[in-house]
Amino acid sequence: MKKLLLLLTLLVCFSSLANKLVDIEFNALLKLAQSGNKDVQYIIGDIYKNGSTQSKINGVNITGTIPIRDLAKSNYWYLKAAEQGEMLSQSQLGFQYSIGEGTAKNLKKAFYWFSKAAIQGDRFAQMKLAAAYESGHGTAKNLKEAFYWITKAAAQGLPIAQYMKGSMYHSGEGVIKNDKKAFTLYLKAAQSGLAYAQTDLAALY
């Protein structure tokens, strides 16, 4: 069994590094997740989140009987991986708690997991963390922290983060008002197809 789990682990790692699909049966993946592999725990969480519509993920082609959608099991596996420091699971847990999907809505827990993922560099989590600081949802309102984290996310090219940072420059919240910088950021977001960035960009002309 240990040799099988090692082989499966190597296959998952190979598919990720070589950017090639590897066929692995769902039950084999589940055993690997149960053995404590955090990367596979994330994959299992995603499979349960999407159900039978999820057949390919992270370079792995899932074969065999794929379970139906089960958000409680999805969150169970995300939590297993998140507790071991798996960044995407931390970000996904934050999202699940923020909207109450598969669990009771809990903005403090959402903030906690977004924080964990944001520190590791997940741009979506950085954006959500900034939004939490800006609104005071799940934590004390802190516009300087909001600007700090939205800058991190915008620097990674996330269009909505570029728009949010532009909005902060335009309103002067958390930073000195600067319409020139707001314009530049709106432009970047608009060029990515973000409709409301295009609208606000036009207003600055």
Count how many domains the chain has: 1
Encoding tokens for residue 4? 């099988």
The end-to-end CA distance of the chain, in Å, is 66
Residue 45 in any domain: the answer is yes
User: CA 148, 46, 38: angle at the middle one, nearest 5?
Assistant: 75
Residue 195 in any domain: the answer is no
CA dihedral 41, 44, 45, 46 (to 10 degrees): 130
Which residues pair with residue 57 across a beta bridge?
60
Residue 131 in any domain: the answer is no
Encoding tokens for residue 126? 């950085």
pTM, rounded to two decimals: 0.85
Residue 144 in any domain: the answer is no
Residue 160 in any domain: the answer is no
Residue 100 in any domain: the answer is no
Residue 182 in any domain: the answer is no
Phi-psi region of 174 (alpha: psi -120 to 50; beta: other; left: phi over 0): left
Encoding tokens for residue 197? 């960035």
Tens digit of each residue's pLDDT (9 = 90 or more) over 14-63:
445 445 556 788 888 899 999 999 999 999 999 999 886 666 666 677 88
Instruction: State the pLDDT at residue 14.
Output: 43
Q: Is the pLDDT of residue 82 over 70?
A: yes
Enclosing domain of residue 7: 1-84
* Of 198 and 181, the one with more pLDDT: 181
Tens digit of each residue's pLDDT (9 = 90 or more) over 114-172:
999 999 999 999 999 999 999 999 999 999 999 999 999 999 999 999 999 999 999 99
Q: How confident is the model at residue 94 (pLDDT cuts 50, 70, 90)?
A: very high
Residue 70 in any domain: the answer is yes
Instruction: State the pLDDT at residue 21.
Output: 58
Instruction: State the pLDDT at residue 9.
Output: 52
